Amino acid sequence: MTAQNRQFKRLAAHFSDRLISNVADYPAYHKDASEITAIPDAILFAESETDVIDAINLCHTDNIPIFFRGAGTGYTGGAVPSGGGLVLSLERLDKLELFPDRKMALCGPGVITIDLMKTAEAVGLYYPPDPASYEESTLGGNVAENAGGLHCVKYGVTKDYIIGLKAVTYDGRLLETGIFTEHELFNLTGILIGSEGLLAAITEIAVRLIDIPKPGPTILATFDTTEDAAETVADITAQGLVPAVMEFIDGDAIACSIAYEPVIDIHKAEALLLFETDGHNAPDRASHIFDICRRHKATFLERETNPAKTETLWKIRRNLSKAVKASTKDKIAEDVCVPPSKLPELVNFVALLNKELPCRVNSYGHAGDGNLHVNFLVAENQNIEPTLLKKAITRLFKKTLELGGTLTGEHGIGLTKMEFLELEFSGETLWQMRKVKDLFNPVCLFNPGKMFRAGH
């Protein structure tokens, strides 16, 4: 018996044939959307909270690192089993109970985002956080990364709708926060949200729901320059207008989306803005936005109220992640965030990178809060030195911080950004954050090697 087999002996005895050791048959569980790949020693699909507790206790006893996984839609390697160990999938914990009278739902971490949205909408309620991966991403993953989405400019992100959590600690104890406990001196819910699987295993999520807002017009505007589009966003923000959604897409990303699915016939444009309005004064707000777009030299403007046609317009944005990936051999996706007033400078910098680098660089994102997804795209016939791309990404991060922004809008830190944390945070701040991690996860049982570099 090998040392590895001895280490997993208790897990295998407890879970029998449910513990998967032939991991080669499950290649999807070796990586996430970052395409970083590492081979785990075993995989376990938890089917209950008890399974999670038992697995953690056994792994703690035998010093087996645990890597939690939902749908694997993250872009920073957060679900990658970078240290061997056990991939503990929570995707089968998919309980979904709705309480319309209390405007809330109780969900397992494996609930797919769109399933919660559709279940709520069936009774006139609304769950606003809608990451682009909402048809695939799980709520557990959304909590781990504090995912945003298209509606974040008006309605906020995941943390604004989580009212309680159940989670299992490194020593197998059940931690209850928010509505699951009668007394809570510290905001433990807030600490767990966005912790990227480093602190505890989320087993249940209490979600706040709101009434479905009255829909208003959707506006699509194209521009001859990215600067005109970004200045439009800055002007709308400065005037205090808050659309439900305000999305920016640059010319290369537009071309990718139209090539992927030609849902609308628009002439070549260097930038596109999509707006969704809602609420009692939505028509007036839409008219104001329409006028601002016209003043900023919009080359094409469309205002739509028909739900079916509106959904067609939004496919341009919803398809983007898959469309951009389909257009190239390799895609490195970064998500930086700046104050909306600084968005023009950021998109101009991305355009500069696109001119200087031998590969394509495009961008799109949630313009209302300055969250820009920047993609470095390497074609099939290109062989680009990795250090060149790393230098370009470092320049992007430094420019973002220079503009008063942050290194990540919603993708998290994981493996891909941990070496850059020192650019944004002081040594003291990093030390204090590390102390929080060490308090919850003192033996580095959960997601070791993520977020914090060794010695930091």
- The CATH number covering residue 221 comes to 3.40.462.40
The last residue of a domain, from among 172, 194, 211: 211
- DSSP H or E run through 293: helix 282-295
Task: Identify whether residues 276 and 382 lie together within a single domain.
Answer: yes
Contact, 243 vs 153, CB < 8 A?
Answer: yes
Q: How far is Cα 254 from Cα 149, in angstroms, rounded to an integer?
A: 19
Residue 444 lies in a domain: no
Q: How far is Cα 59 from Cα 394, in angstroms, rounded to an integer?
A: 37
What is the domain extent for residue 70? 3-89
Q: Read off φ and ψ for residue 284, nearest 5 degrees.
A: -65, -40
Task: Identify whether residues 282 and 393 lie together within a single domain.
Answer: yes
Q: How far is Cα 107 from Cα 96, in angstroms, rounded to an integer?
A: 5
Q: Read off φ and ψ for residue 365, nearest 5 degrees.
A: 165, -170
Task: Identify whether residues 389 and 253 lie together within a single domain.
Answer: yes
Residue 354 lies in a domain: yes
Residue 408 lies in a domain: no
For residue 123, give both structure tokens.
Answer: 């009774």
Q: Of 419, 376, 414, which is closest to residue 36 (Cα–Cα)?
A: 414
Task: Identify whether residues 222 and 352 lie together within a single domain.
Answer: yes
Adjacent-strand bridge partners of 247: 274, 366
Give Dmax (Cα) for the chain: 74
Taking CA atoms, 129 is separated from 119, 154, 183, in Å, by 14, 10, 27
CATH code for the domain in which residue 204 is found: 3.30.465.10
For residue 2, the model assigns a pLDDT of 47
- pLDDT 10s per residue in the chain (456 long)? 344 667 899 999 999 989 999 999 999 999 998 889 999 999 999 999 999 999 999 999 999 999 999 999 998 999 999 989 999 999 999 999 999 999 999 999 999 999 999 999 999 999 999 988 899 999 999 999 999 888 988 999 999 999 999 999 999 999 999 999 988 889 999 999 999 999 999 999 999 999 999 999 999 999 999 989 989 998 998 998 989 999 999 999 999 999 999 888 787 899 999 999 999 899 999 999 999 999 999 999 999 999 888 988 888 888 888 899 899 998 888 999 999 889 889 999 999 999 999 999 999 998 888 899 999 999 888 888 889 999 999 999 999 999 999 998 888 899 989 988 999 999 999 999 999 999 999 999 999 999 987 644
Q: In which residue are the tokens 């602190």 written?
A: 199
Taking CA atoms, 39 is separated from 17, 25, 169, 196, 328, in Å, by 19, 11, 25, 20, 25
Q: How far is Cα 429 from Cα 441, in angstroms, rounded to an integer?
A: 18
Residue 115 lies in a domain: yes
Residue 18 lies in a domain: yes
- Our CA angle for 106, 112, 115, nearest 5°, is 75
The last residue of a domain, from among 89, 105, 121: 89
CATH code for the domain in which residue 67 is found: 3.30.43.10
Residue 443 lies in a domain: no
Task: Identify whether residues 167 and 228 lie together within a single domain.
Answer: no
Question: b vs e for 332-366, b when ≥16 Cβ sit within 10 Å of the residue's Cβ?
Answer: bbbbbbbebbbbbbbbebbbebbeebebbbbbbbb
Q: How far is Cα 331 from Cα 322, in angstroms, rounded to an integer?
A: 11
For residue 61, the model assigns a pLDDT of 96
Taking CA atoms, 425 is separated from 344, 369, 394, 433, 439, in Å, by 25, 21, 15, 10, 20
CA 93 to chain centre: 20
Residue 384 lies in a domain: yes
Task: Identify whether residues 296 and 163 lie together within a single domain.
Answer: no
Task: Identify whether residues 370 and 308 lie together within a single domain.
Answer: yes
Task: Identify whether residues 101 and 228 lie together within a single domain.
Answer: no
Adjacent-strand bridge partners of 336: 372
For residue 255, the model assigns a pLDDT of 92
DSSP state of 245: E
The last residue of a domain, from among 61, 89, 117: 89
Strands 86-89 and 42-45: parallel
Residue 146 lies in a domain: yes
Total domains in the fold of the chain: 3
